[in-house]
Amino acid sequence: MKRLIKPTAVNGIIHPPASKSLAQRAIAVASLALGQSKILHPGNSDDVLAAIRVCRTLGSEIQQLPNSLIINGGINEPHEPLDCGEAGLGIRMFSLIAATLDKPVILTGRGTLTKRPMSSIEQSIVAMGAKCKTNNGYVPITVCGPLPGGTAKVDGSLSSQVLTGMLLAAPLAKSELIIQVSNLKSKPYIDLTIDVMKRFGVEVENDNYKTFGIKPESEYSPAEIVVEGDWSGAAFMLVAGAIAGKVRVENISLSSKQADRAIVDALKLAGASISSGKNSIEVKTNELKGFIFDATDCPDLFPPLVALAAYCKGETSIRGVSRLKTKESNRAATLKEEFGKLGVVIKIKGEEMIINGKIPVAGTVKSHGDHRIAMACAVAGLAAKGNIEINDAQAVAKSYPEFFNDLRSIIKD
C-alpha cells in the first residue's frame, strides 16, 4: 500500500490506540490466571491480535467483544505451533511461558520477525533450566519445560522483553526463582511488567533492577484491567503538532509507566509549546531548536524524534543507537537511508545519532516493513517542501491500524 503525504497544517484532537505493550502483557497474564478476567479497550493492532491467537492455541478461552476481552485462563500443551505473527514482545513472552509446560512447544513468526535474532530467548530459557532450540538463531523456536526454579542470569543490554517473559513465567516455576540481570536497558518496560503482574495478584521483589525474586507460592488471580492509551503512537501525533500546527491527544495517562511518555521531555527540549490537562496533552508549533536526548530506555521514540529533529534549527543528538538493531528493521540504518532520501542528513557515531536540521524535500520512501518508520516519514511530510510518497505503508497496522485515518482527521483543508 502506498500513501501520499502532502504538506499541510494540522489542527485537531486525537484519541490514541490502546497501548499494545500493556495489552499484550495483560492478555498473557490473564491467560495464566485460573478464572475469568476482563480486559477493557485492548485495541486491534496486529500484535494484540497475535497475542489473542497464541493464548487461544495454548488453551485459554477468549471472547472478543466490542472494546473488551473476556478471558477464562488456563494453559496446556498446544496441538499446533504458536503463531506470534510479527510481535517481538509476543514471541519473547510466550517462549518463556511455553517453557513452563512439560512437552515440546514450537513457536513461529512471520514477516520481519523471521529476520530478528532469537538467541537471547534461547540463552534465557536455558539459564532458567528448561530446553530451547532455535533455527540457527532464528524462528522457529522449540521449547520444553518445566522450569525448575533456582537462580537464572540474563544479559539485559539488548532487550528488556526477554526479562519480561522470564518474570511472567516465574510464578509457574517448580520452586522459588531468582533472576539476576546485568546491563538492563528499558527499565520503564520492566516497571510496566511488574505493575501488570501485581494487578493480577503476583508481587515481584525488585532489588535495584539487578535481582528479581518471585516466590513459588505466588499465583495469578483473575482481574479486570483497562488498557490505557498508547504513548508510542501518541508520540507521532504530538510531533505532528510541534511541526505543523496544533494537536491535542486525549485519553492518555500523564502518570503512565510507559517508557515513551518521555516524548514530552524531548518536545520541551526542542522548544515546542506544550500544555496539559487531565489525561490530555496539547502541542503547538513553535520555533524549534536542536536538542540532546537519551533514548536508551525508550528506543521506540527514535523515529518520531528524527521527524522532530528535521524541523529543529541546528544539530540534534539522540543516544541509544545500539537499541535499534533488533527492531522490525535496523532502525538506525533505516532512518538514515529513508530520511536521506528526503534531504535530511543523519550521522551515526557510536551510541549517538546526529541529525542536522533541514526541512524535508519531496521524495519516495519505503517502510522496510517497519510500522514506526512509516509513521515517522508520514509525520515528517506534513511541513515538507513537496509531497512524500510512502511505500509499504500498511506496516502501521502492527501497532496503529487507524494511523492514517487519524492523521487525515486533523489535516486542515
Query: pLDDT of the chain along its 413 residues, tens only?
Result: 999 999 999 999 999 999 999 999 999 999 999 999 999 999 999 999 999 999 999 999 999 999 999 999 999 999 999 999 999 999 999 999 999 999 999 999 999 999 999 999 999 999 999 999 999 999 999 999 999 999 999 988 867 999 999 999 999 999 999 999 999 988 999 999 999 999 999 999 999 999 999 877 889 999 999 999 999 999 999 999 999 999 999 999 999 999 999 999 999 999 999 999 889 999 999 999 999 999 999 999 999 999 999 999 999 999 999 998 877 889 999 999 999 999 999 999 999 999 999 999 999 999 999 999 999 999 999 999 999 999 999 999 999 999 999 999 999 86
The hierarchical CATH code for the domain 20-212 is 3.65.10.10
CA distances (Å), origin 182, targets 52, 55, 84, 211: 32, 30, 27, 9
34: cell is: 485460573
Report the relative pairing of strands 224-226 and 35-40 from DSSP bridges.
parallel
Given the residues 46, 47, 297, 300, select the one marked as catalytic.
300
Q: What residue ranges of the chain are covered by domains with CATH 3.65.10.10?
A: 3-17+228-409, 20-212
Q: How far apart are the first and last CA of the chain?
A: 23
- The residue type found at 404 is F
Q: How far apart are CA 24 and CA 198, in angstroms?
A: 15
Instruction: State the fold for domain 3-17+228-409.
Output: UDP-n-acetylglucosamine1-carboxyvinyl-transferase; Chain (3.65.10)
pTM of the model: 0.94
CA max distance for the chain: 63
Tell me what pLDDT residue 158 has: 67
- For residues 124 and 126, give the distance between their C-alpha atoms in angstroms, rounded to a whole number: 5
Go through 100-111 and write b for each residue having 16 or more CB atoms within 10 A of its CB, e for each that does not. bbeeebbbbbee
Whether 300 is catalytic: yes
pLDDT at 156: 85
